[in-house]
């Protein structure tokens, strides 16, 4: 199966399908034509032309006024890639590197970048053969594009740096010899086209969104299990309540929870408190606000991944080469900070439900275990969830409000969107852990109820209890937490459900 680049708009659901079905990618005929047309135009413009064109026959950043002779244009681009590969810190996950390749190829395919066709084809070879450049998570200011991480993405084209291949980390030079490939000789502007761009931030954005859509669904489902486990009043989910405050996410959440609990014996029982704590009663309002935020971020990321974000841009039909600022990551920086904050709230309210479930209320035993005292039961998993929630609050501090001057004052406002991106991933991964702990507690609590939940939830919990059985007496709960996380991580959900 293949996906043809530039033949359709990329969406989060399209990318999910490309990844899950392991489609190879190929340039459409239209994309090939655009790339070749742009390259031919650029070659014609710089031939015997001494007029300064930024990054093509000049230096970079604050060195924009240094002219470069025609015989050094290729060396200029290679020097750019090598000098900018200054990443450090944690290694970028392989899944995100592969997304970076896909998104860089997509951006170059529009024909506004002046690159060689063989350069794009080599990136496609990397993608299709799972040759993934080794990239570091720290180093980008998210303004002149993601310079450092994208430089590491580009290094193997030159036979430099390292790559992951066949479950090994090897030198790119050795890989090229193994494949009998010659290194790409970068021509005018190519290094700049490869390094300018937002594909590091965008790839993190796509990855975080894919997880966020799924975790939003699980937050509703696990919240619904907790509602029955705590024997909650269902009146706050009545559609009448939400149609008088019609935020889309709020309405969707209430509907989804009611669908999950349809036919529940516990939900239909009359022995209810008049009101429940906010962490149960306000699930539609809190989860719904996060849904609306995810939708907003999805629109921003979708626009970004279908855009040209390098500089300068080549407009063949208008006969212009324009130096602008499409590499600036401000839209993504704000969006990813917003997504991180919104996902934090799913963890915050989840931990509060966990706390209520172990509190010995509503005819549930203290810490959800027989013989409390002799057994500590589910006392400490709530500590774990609380510590993660606290850490998320620190990660949620916006990165996008900061800016540090660089390049001798030429790049005097930067987005810090790369930090927004890496923080957002940490938050999202933490949410998966917090929800996994709530699921353990809710599953344990339901066993103490005399009535059953809905058929859907009972079937879901039957599968879950094969991985995390009922806790009769104290045991090593770290194992159960890890198994619960893996259960959520490995559970596939249809696109129609995730993106509804």
Instruction: Verify that 261 and 407 share a domain, yes or no.
Output: yes
Last residue of one domain, picked from the residues 140, 173, 197: 197
* CATH number for 35: 1.10.275.10
* CATH number for 458: 1.20.200.10
Band of the pLDDT at 457, cuts 50, 70, 90? very high
Instruction: Verify that 266 and 401 share a domain, yes or no.
Output: yes
The answer to whether the Cα torsion of 138, 142, 148, 153 is positive or negative is positive
Q: Which whole number is the average pLDDT over 154-177?
A: 97
Structure token digits, residue 6: 């530039």
Instruction: Verify that 286 and 369 share a domain, yes or no.
Output: yes
11 vs 123, 306, 334, CA distance in Å?
21, 9, 20
Structure token digits, residue 487: 């259960």
Instruction: Verify that 240 and 313 share a domain, yes or no.
Output: yes
- Give the pLDDT confidence score for residue 62 in this predicted structure: 52
What is the number of structural domains in the chain? 2
Provide, rounded to the nearest whole percent, the portion of the chain with pLDDT above 70.
Answer: 95
- Give the pLDDT confidence score for residue 496 in this predicted structure: 72
Judge residue 368's burial from the number of C-beta atoms within 10 Å of its C-beta, 0-12 exposed, 13-18 middle, 19 or more buried: buried
Instruction: Verify that 125 and 13 share a domain, yes or no.
Output: yes
Give the tens place of pLDDT for each residue, 91-136: 999 999 999 999 999 999 999 999 999 999 999 999 999 999 999 9
Band of the pLDDT at 61, cuts 50, 70, 90? low
Last residue of one domain, picked from the residues 197, 215, 242: 197
**Residue 400 pLDDT greater than 70, yes or no:** yes
Domain with 80 in it = 2-197
Instruction: Verify that 375 and 306 share a domain, yes or no.
Output: yes
Instruction: Verify that 136 and 273 share a domain, yes or no.
Output: no
Judge residue 464's burial from the number of C-beta atoms within 10 Å of its C-beta, 0-12 exposed, 13-18 middle, 19 or more buried: buried
| CB atoms inside a 10 Å sphere around CB 291 | 26
Instruction: Verify that 181 and 138 share a domain, yes or no.
Output: yes
Contact status, residue 294 vs residue 499, Cβ threshold 8 Å: no
Q: Which residue among 54, 110, 165, 338 is the active-site one?
A: 54
- Give the pLDDT confidence score for residue 410 in this predicted structure: 81
**Residue 189 pLDDT greater than 70, yes or no:** yes
Our measurement of the distance from residue 432's CA atom to the centroid of its chain's CA atoms, rounded to an integer in Å, reads 13
Band of the pLDDT at 249, cuts 50, 70, 90? very high
Instruction: Verify that 181 and 291 share a domain, yes or no.
Output: no
Give the tens place of pLDDT for each residue, 402-428: 989 988 878 889 999 999 999 999 999
Band of the pLDDT at 71, cuts 50, 70, 90? low
Band of the pLDDT at 64, cuts 50, 70, 90? low
Report the mean per-residue pLDDT for the chain.
93
Instruction: Verify that 231 and 169 share a domain, yes or no.
Output: no
Contact status, residue 201 vs residue 241, Cβ threshold 8 Å: no
Give the tens place of pLDDT for each residue, 253-285: 999 999 999 999 998 887 778 899 999 999 999
Provide, rounded to the nearest whole percent, the portion of the chain with pLDDT above 90.
Answer: 83
Best CA proximity match to 392, nearest among 335, 345, 440: 345
- Give the pLDDT confidence score for residue 47 in this predicted structure: 79
Band of the pLDDT at 68, cuts 50, 70, 90? low
Instruction: Verify that 394 and 276 share a domain, yes or no.
Output: yes
β partners of residue 165: 168
Last residue of one domain, picked from the residues 173, 197, 221: 197
**Residue 485 pLDDT greater than 90, yes or no:** yes
Band of the pLDDT at 54, cuts 50, 70, 90? low
- Give the pLDDT confidence score for residue 494 in this predicted structure: 78
Instruction: Verify that 226 and 151 share a domain, yes or no.
Output: no
Catalytic residue status for 204: no
């Amino acid at each position: 199966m293949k996906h043809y680049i530039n033949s359709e708009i990329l969406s989060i659901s399209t990318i999910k399908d490309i990844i899950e079905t392991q489609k190879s990618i190929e340039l459409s005929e239209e994309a090939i034509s655009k790339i070749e047309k742009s390259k031919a135009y650029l070659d014609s413009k710089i031939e015997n032309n001494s007029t300064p064109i930024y990054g093509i026959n000049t230096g970079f950043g604050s060195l924009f006024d240094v002219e470069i002779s025609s015989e050094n244009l290729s060396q200029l681009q290679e020097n750019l890639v090598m000098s900018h590969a200054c990443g450090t810190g944690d290694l970028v996950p392989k899944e995100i590197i592969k997304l970076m390749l896909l998104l860089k190829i997509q951006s170059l395919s529009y024909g506004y970048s002046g690159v060689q066709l063989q350069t794009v084809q080599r990136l496609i070879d990397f993608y299709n053969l799972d040759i993934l450049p080794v990239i570091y998570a720290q180093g980008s200011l998210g303004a002149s594009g993601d310079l450092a991480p994208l430089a590491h993405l580009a290094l193997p084209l030159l036979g430099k740096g390292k790559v992951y291949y066949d479950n090994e980390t090897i030198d790119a030079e050795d890989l090229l010899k193994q494949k009998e490939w010659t290194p790409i000789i970068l021509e005018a502007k190519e290094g700049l086209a490869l390094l300018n761009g937002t594909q590091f931030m965008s790839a993190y954005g796509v990855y975080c969104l894919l997880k966020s859509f799924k975790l939003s669904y699980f937050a509703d489902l696990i919240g619904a299990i907790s509602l029955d486990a705590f024997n909650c009043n269902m009146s706050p989910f009545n559609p009448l309540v939400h149609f008088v405050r019609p935020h889309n996410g709020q309405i969707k959440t209430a509907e989804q929870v009611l669908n999950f609990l349809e036919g529940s014996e516990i939900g239909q029982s009359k022995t209810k408190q008049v009101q429940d704590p906010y962490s149960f009663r306000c699930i539609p309002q809190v989860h719904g606000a996060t849904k609306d935020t995810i939708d907003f971020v999805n629109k921003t990321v979708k626009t970004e991944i279908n855009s040209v974000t390098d500089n300068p841009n080549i407009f063949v039909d208008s006969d212009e080469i324009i130096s602008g600022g499409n590499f600036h990551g401000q839209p993504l920086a704000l969006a990813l900070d917003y997504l991180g904050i919104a996902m934090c709230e799913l963890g915050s309210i989840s931990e509060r439900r966990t706390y209520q479930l172990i509190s010995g209320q509503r005819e549930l035993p203290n810490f959800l275990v027989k013989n409390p005292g002799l057994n500590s039961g589910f006392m400490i998993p709530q500590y774990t969830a609380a510590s993660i929630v606290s850490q998320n609050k620190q990660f949620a501090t916006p990165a996008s409000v900061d800016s540090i001057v660089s390049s001798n004052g030429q790049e005097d406002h930067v987005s810090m969107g790369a930090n927004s991106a890496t923080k957002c991933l940490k938050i999202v991964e933490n949410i998966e852990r917090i929800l996994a702990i709530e699921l353990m507690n809710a599953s344990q609590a339901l066993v103490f109820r005399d009535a059953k939940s809905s058929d859907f939830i009972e079937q879901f919990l039957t599968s879950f209890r094969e991985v995390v059985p009922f806790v009769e007496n104290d045991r090593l709960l770290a194992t159960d937490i890890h198994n619960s996380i893996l259960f959520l991580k490995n559970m596939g959900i249809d696109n129609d459900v995730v993106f509804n």
